[in-house]
């Protein structure tokens, strides 16, 4: 029996849009030419890549030549940070935050072992950055500042426009991991002081395994993958043609859907959040709710453990994710929630719902109906619950 799936885990990955799929399929079937070839058969593919580059640039308010296609968001992040330190070989300091995705966090920890000094800027209980500390940490030795635009776990949005301007005024390279922001927030790089920006296709209804890095014209760059002349010599390797075409289409659609993300999807998110908080005691939202992605809510259910919640929701076909330790195989709850100072008792029971334009009100109401009894049931099992409410 196939169960209906209610998919509210769109910050993890998204459904490929049918229009995206039909755009890319011919390039896996009949048009298999190599875009670098001299013949028309390959050349027509190169033209499609040019088109995809223009569409990707358009979503960001950038110029087509500022877009580099990569294999994923992680590669974009690595490329950006490594390019900055390679082009500033005498600078040994990097500034980032305590709540970055592992794509940035683990790379910086690795670089720290190689002798780089890393400032991990802390956040407060709402997940907001300590901007004072951030600005004070900048020195002549700083090679790059890399700060995510929006947090994947809480949806909290950082004031990237302001930070970029401040960093630029000190002539330091500024990179932002915008993997979660693209398609959910309006972005106009032509007007901003951002040097590099990462995005990932599978978060915006393109397939997995395609990403892009925006590199502002004039930014010093060093390729990560050395090889052929592809991508104007900035990334060797024959292009992932079909996926690049898919990303272009997905960017076009993301621009068109931005309004819906910020109206209907946001209303669904608010409906879900408000109803759950009303029905379930001892539950709260992780992170400030004001400056937040329209599709994301992270709710802490105290005295229960996230994996147990997810597996019980799974019985109803509901897909979400958790900041709990148990789900990841690590033993400690999410570094993001811990950086915010969310108590362990609540961090273990945190569930993230991330919606998309495919969600319906009926689905949201279904979750609101099914989840509260699950929490109640798990609390009945918990040795702490009775004394907590006594």
Partner 1 sequence: MWEYTDKTKDHFLNPRNVGVVENADGVGEVGSMACGDALKLTFKLDENQRIKEAKFQTFGCASAIASSSALTEMIIGLTIEEAEKVTNEQIAQFLGGLPKEKMHCSVMGRDALEKAIACYRGEAAKKIDGEVVCECFGITDLEIKRVVLENNLATIEEVTDYVKAGGGCGKCHEKIQTIIDDLTGLQKSEKKKAAPMTNIQKIKLIEETLRREVKPALEKDGGNIELVDVDGSRVLVTLRGTCATCSKSQITLKNYVEFKLRELVADDLVVEEV
Query: Could you give the count of Cα atoms lying within 13 Å of 250 in the half-sphere of its Cβ?
Result: 30
Q: Which residues does residue 298 pair with via DSSP β-bridges, in sequence order? A: 352
Q: What is the contact surface with partner 1 in residues (CB under 8 A)?
A: 303-308, 311-312, 315, 324-327, 329-333, 344-345, 348, 380-384
Q: In sequence order, what E strands does the chain have?
A: 6-7, 67-70, 93-97, 117-121, 142-146, 173-177, 196-200, 211-215, 283-285, 296-301, 318-319, 321-322, 350-354
Structure tokens at 32: 């298999």
Cβ 207 to partner 1 shortest distance, Å = 21
Binder of ligand PLP out of 48, 55, 93, 101 (CB under 6 A): 101
Cβ 181 to ligand PLP shortest distance, Å = 8
Rounded to an integer, what distance in angstroms lies between the CA atom of residue 164 and that of residue 238?
Answer: 33
Contact between 321 and ligand PLP per CB under 6 A: no
Output Rg (C-alpha) for the chain, integer angstroms: 22
Nearer to ligand PLP, 200 or 334 (CB): 200
Contact between 363 and ligand PLP per CB under 6 A: no
Q: In sequence order, what E strands does 113-229 have?
A: 117-121, 142-146, 173-177, 196-200, 211-215
Residue 18: Cβ within 10 Å count: 9
Query: Could you give the count of Cα atoms lying within 13 Å of 167 in the half-sphere of its Cβ?
Result: 29
Give CA torsion, residues 346, 263, 355, 107, to 10 deg.
-70
Q: Which residues does residue 211 pair with via DSSP β-bridges, in sequence order? A: 70, 200
Rounded to an integer, what distance in angstroms lies between the CA atom of residue 354 and that of residue 254?
Answer: 16
Site for ligand PLP in 102-121 (CB under 6 A): 103
Q: Which stretch binds ligand PLP (CB under 6 A): 72-80, 132-140, 215-223, 252-260?
A: 72-80
Nearer to partner 1, 190 or 343 (CB): 343
Q: What are the catalytic residues?
A: 326
Contact between 9 and ligand PLP per CB under 6 A: no
Task: Please choose which of ligand PLP, partner 1, none residue 152 contacts, taking the beta carbon within 5 to 8 angstroms, the exact cut-off set by kind.
Answer: ligand PLP
Cβ 153 to ligand PLP shortest distance, Å = 8
**Pattern 207-236, ligand PLP, x by CB under 6 A:** ----x-------------------------
Task: Please choose which of partner 1, ligand PLP, none residue 234 contacts, taking the beta carbon within 5 to 8 angstroms, the exact cut-off set by kind.
Answer: none
Contact between 73 and ligand PLP per CB under 6 A: yes
Cβ 200 to partner 1 shortest distance, Å = 21
Contact between 148 and ligand PLP per CB under 6 A: yes
Residue 161: Cβ within 10 Å count: 15
The residue number with the shortest CB distance to ligand PLP is 73
Structure tokens at 170: 């000190």
Nearer to partner 1, 269 or 379 (CB): 379
Positions touching ligand PLP (CB under 6 A) are 72-74, 101, 103, 148, 152, 177, 179-180, 200, 202, 211
């Amino acid at each position: 029996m196939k169960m209906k799936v209610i998919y509210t885990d769109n910050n993890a990955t998204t459904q490929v849009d049918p229009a995206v799929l039909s755009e890319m399929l011919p390039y896996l079937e009949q048009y298999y030419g190599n875009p670098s070839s001299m013949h028309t058969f390959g050349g027509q593919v190169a033209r499609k890549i040019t088109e995809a580059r223009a569409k990707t640039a358009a979503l960001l308010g950038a110029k087509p030549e500022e877009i580099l296609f990569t294999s994923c968001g992680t590669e974009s992040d690595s490329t950006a940070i490594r390019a900055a330190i390679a082009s500033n070989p005498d600078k040994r300091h990097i500034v980032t935050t305590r709540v970055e995705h592992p794509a940035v966090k683990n790379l910086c920890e690795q670089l720290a072992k190689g002798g780089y000094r890393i400032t991990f800027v802390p956040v407060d209980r709402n997940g907001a950055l300590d901007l004072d500390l951030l600005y004070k940490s900048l020195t002549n030795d700083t090679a790059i500042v890399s700060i995510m635009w929006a947090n994947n776990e809480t949806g909290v949005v950082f004031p990237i426009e302001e930070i970029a301007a401040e960093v630029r005024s000190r002539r330091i390279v500024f990179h932002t991991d915008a993997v979660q922001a693209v398609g959910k927030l309006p972005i106009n790089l032509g007007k901003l002081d951002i040097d590099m920006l990462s995005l990932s296709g599978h978060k915006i209804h393109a397939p997995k395994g395609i990403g892009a890095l925006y590199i502002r014209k004039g930014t010093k760059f060093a390729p990560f993958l050395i090889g052929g002349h592809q991508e104007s010599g900035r990334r060797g390797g024959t292009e992932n043609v079909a996926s690049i075409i898919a990303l272009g289409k997905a960017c076009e659609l993301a621009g068109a859907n931005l309004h819906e993300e910020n109206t209907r999807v946001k209303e669904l998110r608010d409906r879900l959040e408000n109803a759950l908080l009303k029905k379930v005691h001892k539950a709260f939202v992780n992170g400030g709710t004001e400056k937040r992605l329209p599709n994301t809510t992270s709710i802490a259910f105290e005295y229960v453990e996230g994996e147990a919640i997810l597996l019980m929701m799974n019985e109803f076909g509901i897909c979400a994710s958790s900041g709990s330790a148990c789900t990841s195989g690590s033993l400690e709850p999410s570094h993001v929630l811990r950086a915010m100072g969310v108590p362990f008792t609540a961090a273990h029971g945190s569930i993230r719902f991330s919606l998309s334009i495919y969600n319906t009100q009926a689905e949201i109401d279904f979750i609101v109906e099914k989840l509260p009894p699950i929490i109640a049931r798990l609390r009945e099992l918990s040795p702490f619950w009775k004394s907590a409410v006594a």
